[in-house]
A and B are shown apart, each in its own frame.
Chain A
Amino acid sequence: DIQMTQSPSSVSASVGDRVTITCRASQGISSYLAWYQQKPGKAPKLLIYAASSLQSGVPSRFSGSGSGTDFSLTISSLQPEDSASYYCQQGNSFPLTFGQGTRLEIK
């Protein structure tokens, strides 16, 4: 199985800050990487697919980059509604696997 490791596990930042979350795959996955946002009691919501493509309706302050084994999700100017957990997921090979998640808190 491909292991997905996110860092940090949790982060606290202020409104307007730039925040970056990283995701590392245990082996190369090309650009088969997605990012999800999950708020308490809700289903995950797709933010980024194919490593850097912004899902329709997602604010442009969210961006993704990377290929191979190293990826990142960046929020350019943090907003209060961005408080959530974020997960990466590889779509390169089965079984499909997720990172352990990053909890983002607004100071």
Chain B
Amino acid sequence: QVQLQESGPGLVKPSETLSLTCTVSGGSISSNYWSWIRQPPGKGLEWIGYIYYSGRTSYNPSLKSRVTISVDRSRNQLSLKLSSVTAADTAVYYCAKGPWNQGGWFDPWGQGSLVTVSS
């Protein structure tokens, strides 16, 4: 079955760019949508955006000016870049398969990667 694994720096300085990679195993990244979702410590879930394997993207307007999601089909990976970070961007970042065409849900999810924004 498909498994996802996030990786990247756990600490980012304010005003810098957060960069994470999600590696998909057990299946192809092709013909599917893939999303990034985040969760600040002790808080709820926020959808960041998705990418289709072809490269088409959709972002949450609340983050759109700072977010870039890309895909590398040769490596079966998707990436997240979030620029000009502040402490409010401290969160666990998840990659997930979806939104599924039939109804917009996400499954499966990666285990998550905690990113702390601090000098």
Q: Chain A: residues with CB nearer than 8 A to chain B?
A: 31-34, 42-46, 49-50, 55, 87, 89-92, 94-101
User: For chain A, what secondary structure do more than half of its interface residues adopt (helix, strand, loop), or is it mixed?
Assistant: loop
Q: Are A49 and B111 in contact (CB under 8 A)?
A: no
Q: Chain B: residues with CB nearer than 8 A to chain A?
A: 35, 44-47, 58, 60-62, 94, 99-100, 102-112
Q: Are A95 and B47 in contact (CB under 8 A)?
A: yes
Q: Are B47 and A49 in contact (CB under 8 A)?
A: no
Q: Are B46 and A98 in contact (CB under 8 A)?
A: yes
CB < 8 Å neighbour of B62 from A42, A49, A91, A95: A95
Q: Are B100 and A49 in contact (CB under 8 A)?
A: yes
| Complex Cα spacing A101 to B40, Å | 13
| Complex Cα spacing A101 to B44, Å | 7
Q: Are A49 and B45 in contact (CB under 8 A)?
A: no
